Structure 1
């Protein structure tokens, strides 16, 4: 249940170098490395000869040498040498996947390479924009990637799961505005004149140590198909103009999330937290990364438990609440993309009720 004609994050840029890194992308074993000049390469991680993972071999210049029988494959996937013979079988090759390095990630296109348009790489520019500072991590999750998307599209769970860091009672009562098209969903929620939750209050006091009072809080969640979510978050002192576009008195962050399915019930979760204030404060960068990592650790525990429960109750039918509206549209978009790739009609619900019914059937 994932589209193949799309860009998926395969690794942080710093993970890939002059060693062989195995990853699985949408069920496809891939081996990653860089050429001597630093260009990223992504090959199928299975030798043409006996399907042994090439990641168990070694690099020889820019070529990969199979660790079992010594076949040599170049960056394009073509076999360059075979042991004990000079004539190369013309079919001797492994797949070479389109790969783009952007926004501190390496992105792979597992589908039709002719459709791999680099302009379609999800926009996560905050991750390397000089006007923003931040850092993140990779989490390997034992759950369906769509459960992570559900989690990110419904932040009312912060009131309960993250009660020590991000909770406001107003989360469940602030009605969000929802917009969507065939490839994206945007959910906007404002909470006016409330107390800042601990994680955001800590940041606001770093910027304005003498601040006391109520704040306006915002969450603007944007999903881009197939599996990227950017969350614009922050608080500003009430009455300073944040709802009208002037956030200068407050603190603003972007939570960057892109999820890569690896196998049924498993995925890679790449995330970063970036901010646009105190850019040179590395201590603050470390503190925020550690704080968000702890929050996502709570999510990990819950998502793993949810996945185990789903496996244990395969016939259970899910029902949606009003808070599930963002996730309902996300799943509908993903299903439509998969249907289009499989030659079925790409359709979208005529109403939210139809989307809800469809989500119950496919949860």
Structure 2
């Protein structure tokens, strides 16, 4: 048969990148099945307790390996008992010779910063040094609490949402929204590594969520404050948002920690399919770090806030799916999301160009 170059429509996300796949508790004592960037994975721990991820496909009869169990560091299929190693190779099966079974795909995996990360692309290119650096993770000067949602929309819609916080005035009117967000000028900049949008609001009333944070910091909650929001997008799909309030006229973002409550809203957005994603959210803070009750209160508050986003985004996806040819308007407040999408598109194009330079051939 004549040789032909394999052609495939590029995925709408970078493949050669680290994505958050799970939290450690999700694979304690059992495998986890999760689709990441279109790839169905079974995630588990090997005999040394290291996180591993393989294709969620038993080579015997195609059953999902994630429905099985872990024994002696191997992933045992729950259908007929074929055991698979973390390298994707069959290691045993009662009464059968399986060592020459063709391997299934194994994905590069790293456990760091309190998350399980996977690299859905070429495993040989996976470099842990390329993990997004999280200075707050693992530091005893920060407290962190968070959660996870599955959101039925294109992951890029969530990036749009987080890079333009204008919607807070309307979607989150009872928690973090206030009219001054609309009125504050938005600044956007982009460089090779990140896109940044920022807003600063001076001498405003703290909304309910920040009143809670002020009380948690031992500060009065009925005074005027200076407020800031700085959203930072980095590849493949991470958004870190520096947020906070300081007693008005005391320096704002640069104020002494004794007169402010500030934190980083953590957003890891991991594509599942073209119209769904896993959203790992949380807040890292440097005030009242030993107050576990406050951590729980903030987590509950964030969950309520993000639940409001979830409904809006999923229904937005329904509209876009029903009207794929409708052109959407772009305003100055959309600059952060637009620049972020451009960065994603460049990364995808780079992977496509690299793949075309070394095409695989089908016989």
Q: Same fold (TM over 0.5)?
A: yes
What SS does structure 2 have at the residue aligned with 1:106? strand
1:59 aligns with 2:76: no
Number of aligned positions between the proteins: 344
Q: CA offset at residue 81 of structure 1?
A: 2.5
Alpha carbons of 1:245 and 1:53: their partners in 2 closer, same or farther (altered >3 Å)?
same
Query: How far does the alpha carbon of each residue in 1:111-169 deviate from its partner, in whole angstroms, 9 at most, with x for none?
Result: 01121111211233424321111211110111110011010000011011111111221
1:69-84 correspondence to structure 2 within 5 Å: 69-82=80-93, 84=95
2:52 is aligned, of 38, 41, 56, to 41
1:320 corresponds to: 330
| CA-CA distance at 1:70 after TM superposition | 2.9
TM-score (norm 2): 0.90
Secondary structure of the structure 1 residue equivalent to 2:283: strand
CA RMSD of aligned residues (A): 1.8
SS at match of 1:140: strand
Q: How many Å separate the matches in 1 of 2:315 and 2:97? A: 55
Q: Does 1:116 align with 2:126?
A: yes
The 3 A distance-change label for structure 1 pair 170 and 64 is same
SS in 1 for 2:258: coil
Alignment correspondent of 1:171: 181
Specify the SS of the correspondent of 1:341.
Answer: helix
Cα distance in structure 2, aligned partners of 1:83 and 1:203? 58
Other structure's SS at 2:103 match: coil
Please, what TM-score do these two structures have when normalized by structure 1?
0.90
1:69-218, aligned counterparts within 5 Å? 69-82=80-93, 84-86=95-97, 88-89=99-100, 92-210=102-220, 212-218=222-228
Note if 1:11 corresponds to 2:22: yes
1:356 aligns with none
For the 8 Å contact 2:244–2:260, the answer to whether it is kept is yes
- What is residue 242 of structure 1 aligned with on the other side? 252
Specify every segment of 5 or more residues in structure 1 that has no aligned partner in the other structure, as ranges. Answer: 346-363
Q: Secondary structure at the match of 1:330?
A: helix
Q: Does 1:270 find its partner at 2:280?
A: yes
Dislocated runs of 4+, deviation >6 Å: none
Q: In 1, are the aligned partners of 2:229 and 2:244 still within 8 Å (CA)?
A: yes
Residues 333-342 or 197-206, more deviating: 197-206
Structure 1 position 340 matched with structure 2 position 350? yes
Distance 1:87 1:288, change over 3 A: closer
Determine which structure has greater relative contact order: mean sequence separation of CA pairs < 8 Å that are 6+ residues apart, divided by chain length: 2
After superposing the two structures, state which structure 1 stretch, 276-285 or 199-208, moved more.
Answer: 199-208
1:352 maps to which residue? none
Q: Equivalent residue for 1:348?
A: none
Alignment partners' CA distance in 2, 1:209 and 1:240: 13
Aligned pairs for 1:292-311 within 5 A:
292-311=302-321
Judging changes above 3 Å, is the alpha-carbon distance between structure 1 residues 70 and 344 closer, same or farther for their aligned structure 2 residues? closer
| CA separation of 1:214 and 1:14: change in aligned 2, threshold 3 A | same
Shift of 1:280: 1.3
CA 1:87–1:163: 2 relative to 1, 3 Å: closer
Partner deviation per Cα, 1:229-270 (whole Å, 9 max, x = no partner): 011100001121224454431101111000111112011000
2:195–2:339 contact (8 Å) kept in structure 1: yes
CA distance in 2, matches of 1:269, 1:113: 24
